[in-house]
Chains A and B, each alone.
Chain A
Amino acid sequence: MGHACENALAAGLTQDVVEAIEQGRPPLFATVEQSMAHDVTREILETRKLSQETYARAAAIFGEAALVELASVVGWYTSLAIQMNIFDVGA
Protein backbone atom coordinates (compact mmCIF):
# COMPACT_ATOMS: atom_id res chain seq x y z
CA MET A 1 0.00 0.00 0.00
CA GLY A 2 3.17 2.19 0.00
CA HIS A 3 2.32 5.50 -1.67
CA ALA A 4 -1.46 5.52 -1.41
CA CYS A 5 -1.17 4.88 2.32
CA GLU A 6 1.22 7.83 2.82
CA ASN A 7 -1.04 10.07 0.74
CA ALA A 8 -4.14 8.94 2.64
CA LEU A 9 -2.59 9.95 5.98
CA ALA A 10 -1.37 13.25 4.50
CA ALA A 11 -4.92 13.93 3.27
CA GLY A 12 -6.23 13.53 6.82
CA LEU A 13 -7.53 9.96 6.94
CA THR A 14 -6.85 8.30 10.28
CA GLN A 15 -4.35 5.51 10.80
CA ASP A 16 -7.28 3.38 11.93
CA VAL A 17 -9.17 3.79 8.64
CA VAL A 18 -6.07 2.97 6.60
CA GLU A 19 -5.34 -0.12 8.71
CA ALA A 20 -8.96 -1.30 8.50
CA ILE A 21 -8.81 -1.14 4.69
CA GLU A 22 -5.49 -2.99 4.69
CA GLN A 23 -6.88 -5.69 6.96
CA GLY A 24 -10.26 -5.94 5.22
CA ARG A 25 -12.23 -4.75 8.28
CA PRO A 26 -15.12 -2.25 7.92
CA PRO A 27 -13.52 1.18 8.51
CA LEU A 28 -15.14 3.86 10.69
CA PHE A 29 -15.28 6.69 8.22
CA ALA A 30 -15.53 10.37 9.15
CA THR A 31 -18.02 11.27 6.39
CA VAL A 32 -20.76 9.68 4.34
CA GLU A 33 -18.79 10.54 1.17
CA GLN A 34 -15.80 8.51 2.38
CA SER A 35 -18.00 5.60 3.32
CA MET A 36 -19.91 5.68 0.03
CA ALA A 37 -16.74 5.92 -2.07
CA HIS A 38 -15.30 2.91 -0.22
CA ASP A 39 -18.47 0.84 -0.67
CA VAL A 40 -18.78 1.54 -4.42
CA THR A 41 -15.11 0.81 -5.02
CA ARG A 42 -15.19 -2.49 -3.14
CA GLU A 43 -18.38 -3.65 -4.80
CA ILE A 44 -17.20 -2.94 -8.33
CA LEU A 45 -13.84 -4.65 -7.76
CA GLU A 46 -15.19 -7.66 -5.87
CA THR A 47 -18.35 -8.36 -7.87
CA ARG A 48 -17.30 -6.65 -11.16
CA LYS A 49 -20.64 -4.82 -11.20
CA LEU A 50 -22.68 -2.33 -9.20
CA SER A 51 -26.10 -3.20 -7.81
CA GLN A 52 -29.01 -0.85 -8.42
CA GLU A 53 -29.19 -0.08 -4.69
CA THR A 54 -25.52 0.92 -4.39
CA TYR A 55 -25.68 2.82 -7.66
CA ALA A 56 -28.73 4.82 -6.54
CA ARG A 57 -27.14 5.69 -3.16
CA ALA A 58 -23.88 6.74 -4.81
CA ALA A 59 -25.63 8.80 -7.50
CA ALA A 60 -27.63 10.60 -4.77
CA ILE A 61 -24.47 11.45 -2.80
CA PHE A 62 -22.03 12.32 -5.59
CA GLY A 63 -24.17 13.14 -8.62
CA GLU A 64 -23.50 11.65 -12.03
CA ALA A 65 -20.36 13.61 -12.98
CA ALA A 66 -18.50 12.88 -9.73
CA LEU A 67 -19.56 9.23 -9.87
CA VAL A 68 -18.07 8.97 -13.39
CA GLU A 69 -14.88 10.49 -11.95
CA LEU A 70 -14.89 8.00 -9.08
CA ALA A 71 -15.12 5.14 -11.60
CA SER A 72 -12.24 6.71 -13.55
CA VAL A 73 -10.08 6.75 -10.42
CA VAL A 74 -10.89 3.09 -9.63
CA GLY A 75 -10.20 2.17 -13.26
CA TRP A 76 -6.90 4.01 -13.48
CA TYR A 77 -5.47 2.66 -10.22
CA THR A 78 -6.68 -0.86 -11.07
CA SER A 79 -4.86 -0.52 -14.37
CA LEU A 80 -1.64 0.54 -12.59
CA ALA A 81 -1.96 -2.19 -9.95
CA ILE A 82 -2.36 -4.87 -12.65
CA GLN A 83 0.73 -3.57 -14.44
CA MET A 84 2.80 -3.47 -11.25
CA ASN A 85 1.72 -6.92 -10.07
CA ILE A 86 3.14 -8.64 -13.12
CA PHE A 87 6.57 -7.12 -12.55
CA ASP A 88 6.64 -7.64 -8.77
CA VAL A 89 6.96 -3.90 -8.08
CA GLY A 90 7.19 -3.45 -4.29
CA ALA A 91 6.88 -0.41 -2.02
Chain B
Amino acid sequence: MARLKALAREEMDAEQQALMDEIASGPRKAPMTNGPGLGWLRNPKAGHIAQQLGAFCRYGTGHTDDVVEIIICTTARYWSQPYEWWAHKRNALKVNVDPAIIDAIENRTTPKFQSVEQEVAHDITKELLETKKVGKATYERALKTFGEKKLVELTQVVGYYSNIALQMNCFEVAPDDGPSVLKDAAFS
Protein backbone atom coordinates (compact mmCIF):
# COMPACT_ATOMS: atom_id res chain seq x y z
CA MET B 1 0.00 0.00 0.00
CA ALA B 2 1.66 3.17 -1.16
CA ARG B 3 2.10 6.19 1.08
CA LEU B 4 0.07 8.15 -1.49
CA LYS B 5 -3.59 7.17 -1.66
CA ALA B 6 -4.97 6.23 -5.07
CA LEU B 7 -7.75 8.54 -6.26
CA ALA B 8 -10.95 7.30 -7.85
CA ARG B 9 -12.11 9.39 -10.79
CA GLU B 10 -14.95 10.96 -8.79
CA GLU B 11 -12.41 12.10 -6.17
CA MET B 12 -10.36 13.99 -8.79
CA ASP B 13 -10.90 17.68 -9.56
CA ALA B 14 -11.20 18.89 -13.16
CA GLU B 15 -7.45 19.44 -13.55
CA GLN B 16 -6.63 15.95 -12.26
CA GLN B 17 -9.24 14.36 -14.53
CA ALA B 18 -7.85 16.30 -17.50
CA LEU B 19 -4.36 14.95 -16.77
CA MET B 20 -5.64 11.35 -16.72
CA ASP B 21 -7.57 11.96 -19.97
CA GLU B 22 -4.45 13.42 -21.56
CA ILE B 23 -2.43 10.32 -20.60
CA ALA B 24 -5.18 7.96 -21.82
CA SER B 25 -5.42 9.75 -25.18
CA GLY B 26 -1.66 9.36 -25.76
CA PRO B 27 0.42 6.30 -26.67
CA ARG B 28 -0.13 4.64 -23.25
CA LYS B 29 -3.85 4.35 -24.18
CA ALA B 30 -4.97 4.20 -20.51
CA PRO B 31 -5.05 6.58 -17.54
CA MET B 32 -2.28 6.07 -14.98
CA THR B 33 -3.84 5.98 -11.54
CA ASN B 34 -1.04 3.93 -9.97
CA GLY B 35 2.73 4.19 -10.53
CA PRO B 36 4.18 7.62 -11.28
CA GLY B 37 0.62 8.86 -11.83
CA LEU B 38 0.09 8.85 -8.05
CA GLY B 39 2.60 11.69 -7.69
CA TRP B 40 1.53 13.47 -10.88
CA LEU B 41 -2.03 13.70 -9.57
CA ARG B 42 -0.73 15.70 -6.55
CA ASN B 43 0.44 18.39 -8.95
CA PRO B 44 -1.18 18.07 -12.38
CA LYS B 45 0.86 20.94 -13.90
CA ALA B 46 4.10 19.10 -13.13
CA GLY B 47 2.43 15.81 -14.05
CA HIS B 48 1.58 17.16 -17.50
CA ILE B 49 5.23 17.96 -18.22
CA ALA B 50 6.54 14.73 -16.67
CA GLN B 51 4.19 12.45 -18.58
CA GLN B 52 5.17 14.10 -21.88
CA LEU B 53 8.86 13.54 -21.15
CA GLY B 54 8.03 9.95 -20.19
CA ALA B 55 6.14 9.36 -23.42
CA PHE B 56 9.12 10.69 -25.39
CA CYS B 57 11.54 8.39 -23.54
CA ARG B 58 9.39 5.36 -24.09
CA TYR B 59 8.05 5.95 -27.61
CA GLY B 60 10.03 8.78 -29.19
CA THR B 61 13.71 7.86 -29.24
CA GLY B 62 15.61 6.28 -32.12
CA HIS B 63 16.17 3.08 -30.13
CA THR B 64 14.27 -0.10 -30.88
CA ASP B 65 11.56 -1.11 -28.38
CA ASP B 66 13.55 -4.06 -27.01
CA VAL B 67 16.58 -1.84 -26.31
CA VAL B 68 14.40 0.80 -24.60
CA GLU B 69 12.81 -1.83 -22.34
CA ILE B 70 16.22 -3.29 -21.45
CA ILE B 71 17.46 0.19 -20.47
CA ILE B 72 14.34 0.68 -18.32
CA CYS B 73 14.51 -2.77 -16.67
CA THR B 74 18.21 -2.23 -15.87
CA THR B 75 17.33 1.14 -14.32
CA ALA B 76 14.41 -0.32 -12.34
CA ARG B 77 16.73 -3.07 -11.03
CA TYR B 78 19.30 -0.48 -9.87
CA TRP B 79 16.65 1.44 -7.89
CA SER B 80 14.92 -1.83 -6.86
CA GLN B 81 11.63 -0.14 -7.78
CA PRO B 82 8.88 -2.77 -7.94
CA TYR B 83 6.25 -0.82 -9.93
CA GLU B 84 8.73 0.19 -12.62
CA TRP B 85 10.04 -3.37 -12.72
CA TRP B 86 6.59 -4.93 -12.96
CA ALA B 87 5.39 -2.60 -15.73
CA HIS B 88 8.53 -2.85 -17.85
CA LYS B 89 9.18 -6.55 -17.42
CA ARG B 90 5.73 -6.94 -18.94
CA ASN B 91 6.58 -4.51 -21.77
CA ALA B 92 9.95 -6.18 -22.41
CA LEU B 93 8.29 -9.57 -22.81
CA LYS B 94 5.69 -8.04 -25.17
CA VAL B 95 8.44 -6.75 -27.47
CA ASN B 96 10.10 -10.18 -27.51
CA VAL B 97 12.97 -9.70 -25.08
CA ASP B 98 14.08 -13.21 -24.06
CA PRO B 99 12.61 -13.95 -20.58
CA ALA B 100 16.04 -15.33 -19.55
CA ILE B 101 17.49 -11.81 -20.02
CA ILE B 102 14.88 -10.31 -17.70
CA ASP B 103 15.54 -13.02 -15.10
CA ALA B 104 19.30 -12.39 -15.29
CA ILE B 105 18.79 -8.64 -14.77
CA GLU B 106 16.55 -9.37 -11.78
CA ASN B 107 19.13 -11.83 -10.34
CA ARG B 108 22.04 -9.47 -11.07
CA THR B 109 23.80 -12.06 -13.22
CA THR B 110 25.22 -11.43 -16.71
CA PRO B 111 22.48 -11.84 -19.35
CA LYS B 112 23.04 -13.47 -22.75
CA PHE B 113 21.67 -10.79 -25.05
CA GLN B 114 19.94 -11.17 -28.40
CA SER B 115 21.87 -8.31 -30.05
CA VAL B 116 24.95 -6.12 -29.60
CA GLU B 117 22.66 -3.10 -29.15
CA GLN B 118 20.90 -4.76 -26.19
CA GLU B 119 24.23 -5.65 -24.58
CA VAL B 120 25.82 -2.22 -25.04
CA ALA B 121 22.68 -0.45 -23.76
CA HIS B 122 22.55 -2.67 -20.67
CA ASP B 123 26.25 -2.37 -19.89
CA ILE B 124 26.44 1.43 -20.14
CA THR B 125 23.22 1.87 -18.12
CA LYS B 126 24.51 -0.37 -15.33
CA GLU B 127 27.94 1.28 -15.24
CA LEU B 128 26.47 4.79 -15.25
CA LEU B 129 24.10 4.04 -12.36
CA GLU B 130 26.50 1.98 -10.25
CA THR B 131 29.62 4.11 -10.61
CA LYS B 132 27.92 7.46 -11.48
CA LYS B 133 30.24 7.75 -14.46
CA VAL B 134 31.22 5.89 -17.62
CA GLY B 135 34.75 4.75 -18.47
CA LYS B 136 36.34 5.65 -21.80
CA ALA B 137 36.12 2.10 -23.21
CA THR B 138 32.39 1.82 -22.39
CA TYR B 139 31.72 5.30 -23.76
CA GLU B 140 33.49 4.67 -27.04
CA ARG B 141 31.83 1.31 -27.58
CA ALA B 142 28.41 2.88 -26.98
CA LEU B 143 29.20 5.83 -29.24
CA LYS B 144 30.27 3.47 -32.03
CA THR B 145 27.12 1.33 -31.59
CA PHE B 146 24.54 4.12 -31.28
CA GLY B 147 26.06 7.40 -32.50
CA GLU B 148 25.91 10.59 -30.44
CA LYS B 149 22.20 11.39 -30.83
CA LYS B 150 20.97 7.97 -29.72
CA LEU B 151 23.52 7.89 -26.91
CA VAL B 152 22.10 11.19 -25.60
CA GLU B 153 18.63 9.64 -25.87
CA LEU B 154 19.80 6.59 -23.92
CA THR B 155 20.91 8.86 -21.05
CA GLN B 156 17.54 10.62 -21.16
CA VAL B 157 15.81 7.27 -20.72
CA VAL B 158 18.11 6.30 -17.81
CA GLY B 159 17.60 9.76 -16.28
CA TYR B 160 13.82 9.83 -16.64
CA TYR B 161 13.27 6.33 -15.27
CA SER B 162 15.70 7.02 -12.40
CA ASN B 163 13.75 10.20 -11.72
CA ILE B 164 10.40 8.43 -11.37
CA ALA B 165 11.92 5.35 -9.67
CA LEU B 166 13.34 7.37 -6.79
CA GLN B 167 10.09 9.31 -6.46
CA MET B 168 8.11 6.06 -6.31
CA ASN B 169 10.52 4.67 -3.71
CA CYS B 170 9.94 7.78 -1.54
CA PHE B 171 6.24 6.93 -1.48
CA GLU B 172 6.54 3.14 -1.58
CA VAL B 173 4.61 2.85 -4.83
CA ALA B 174 4.14 -0.80 -5.82
CA PRO B 175 2.00 -2.63 -8.39
CA ASP B 176 -1.33 -4.07 -7.26
CA ASP B 177 0.42 -7.44 -6.74
CA GLY B 178 2.75 -5.81 -4.18
CA PRO B 179 6.49 -5.09 -3.94
CA SER B 180 7.39 -8.80 -3.91
CA VAL B 181 7.08 -8.89 -7.74
CA LEU B 182 10.76 -7.89 -7.67
CA LYS B 183 13.45 -9.73 -5.64
CA ASP B 184 14.99 -7.46 -2.97
CA ALA B 185 12.62 -4.59 -3.75
CA ALA B 186 13.51 -1.25 -2.10
CA PHE B 187 10.70 -1.81 0.43
CA SER B 188 8.43 -4.67 1.41
- A residues at B contact (CB < 8 Å): 40, 44-45, 48-50, 55, 59, 64-65, 67-69, 71-72, 74-76, 78-83, 85-87
Q: Determine the main DSSP class of A at the interface with B.
A: helix
> Beyond A64-B4, A82-B128, is A71–B170 a contact (Cβ under 8 Å)?
yes
Q: Determine the main DSSP class of B at the interface with A.
A: helix
A48 touches B170 (CB 8 A): no
A79 touches B169 (CB 8 A): no
> Beyond A55-B3, A69-B43, A72-B46, is A85–B166 a contact (Cβ under 8 Å)?
no
Nearest to A74 among chain B residues (CB) is B166
Tell me which residues across on chain B come within 8 A of A45, comparing CB atoms: 166
> Beyond A48-B186, A79-B159, A86-B139, is A71–B166 a contact (Cβ under 8 Å)?
yes
Contact partner of A75 among B128, B167, B187, CB < 8 A? B167
Give min CB distance, A83 to chain B, whole Å: 4
Q: How far is the CA of A17 from the CA of B3 in the complex (A)?
A: 31
Give min CB distance, B162 to chain A, whole Å: 6
Tell me which residues across on chain B come within 8 A of A65, comparing CB atoms: 42-43
> Beyond A68-B39, A72-B39, is A79–B160 a contact (Cβ under 8 Å)?
yes
> Beyond A68-B4, A75-B162, is A86–B170 a contact (Cβ under 8 Å)?
no
Tell me which residues across on chain A come within 8 A of B114, comparing CB atoms: none
| Residue from B80, B134, B166, B187 with most neighbouring chain A CB atoms (10 Å) | B166
Q: How far is the CA of A76 from the CA of B162 in the complex (A)?
A: 9
A72 touches B128 (CB 8 A): no
> Beyond A68-B4, A83-B156, is A75–B166 a contact (Cβ under 8 Å)?
yes
B80 touches A48 (CB 8 A): yes
Give min CB distance, A33 to chain B, whole Å: 17
Q: How far is the CA of A15 from the CA of B151 in the complex (A)?
A: 37
B129 touches A82 (CB 8 A): yes
A-B contact pairs, 12 of them (CB 8 A): A45-B166, A64-B4, A68-B4, A71-B39, A72-B46, A72-B167, A74-B166, A75-B167, A83-B155, A83-B158, A85-B133, A86-B134
